[in-house]
Chain A
């Protein structure tokens, strides 16, 4: 059973561009969580999704950020018009209920 997969592993964007981060959960897991981690800091919850539904987006900035988990395909975290402050590691985790298994992360650098 493959683990949680994320791509790309590293993403470089210039200010104002769009960043699109993908997460494929473990087989059989219907819950996906996205977290942001700044250097030497903990994991901050952003959004919780189930297939085709956003359950809790209370940790996600209301502007420029969006997330989806379609019926088919990976979950996508989309950041529009990126700014330097968006530079961070973004992790997704998949879960059958409350145990969460993390992917390797996408490290976003905004120039």
Chain B
């Protein structure tokens, strides 16, 4: 089944700097990779996703890159702002770590991003 590793677990940056969060996955058949932002006391919010047929996708200040050969993908946030502070989760759509024939999202353990004013 799929296994997703996410690094770093915590990241502190100054306002205006860039932040990069990296994830690796194990299942070469995985084909969909979303990123979620979770603010304290709220549910995860889908912020950007990428499918395996493209290598990069941008949406204003956020971008995601995918390297299928190396099986890793990254979230890039430029010109960070205090409101970017949250926990960010990556995920991969694959067979899941508990086996079974159904594809499911497997999540990384999260990165706590703190943007200091």
**Given A58-B99, A99-B34, A33-B109 contact (CB < 8 Å):** no
Q: Which residue of A lies closest to B93 (CB)?
A: A98
Complexed CA–CA distance, A57 and B24 (Å): 25
B107 near A100 with CB under 8 A, answer no
B109 near A56 with CB under 8 A, answer no
75-102 of chain A: CB within 8 A of chain B? 91, 98-102
Verify if A103 is at the interface (C-beta below 8 Å from B).
yes
Complexed CA–CA distance, A100 and B32 (Å): 11
**A-side interface size class:** 20 to 34
**Given A91-B43, A102-B43, A103-B43, A43-B107 contact (CB < 8 Å):** yes
Residues of chain A within 8 A of B22, CB atoms compared: none
Residues of chain A within 8 A of B61, CB atoms compared: none
A48 near B104 with CB under 8 A, answer yes
Residues of chain B within 8 A of A105, CB atoms compared: 42-43
Q: Which residue of B lies closest to A104 (CB)?
A: B43
Q: Which residue of B lies closest to A41 (CB)?
A: B109
Complexed CA–CA distance, A48 and B36 (Å): 19
Verify if B89 is at the interface (C-beta below 8 Å from A).
yes
B46 near A99 with CB under 8 A, answer yes
Shortest Cβ distance from residue B59 to the other chain A in the assembled complex, whole angstroms: 14
Verify if A42 is at the interface (C-beta below 8 Å from B).
yes
Mark contacts of B33-63 with chain A using CB atoms, 8 A cut-off: 1 yes-contact digit, 0 otherwise: 0101000001111100100000000000000
Residues on B lying within 8 angstroms of A by beta carbon are: 32, 34, 36, 42-46, 49, 89, 93, 96, 98-100, 102-110
List 6 A–B pairs whose Cβ atoms lie within 8 Å, in order of A's numbering: A43-B107, A48-B104, A58-B96, A58-B98, A98-B103, A104-B43
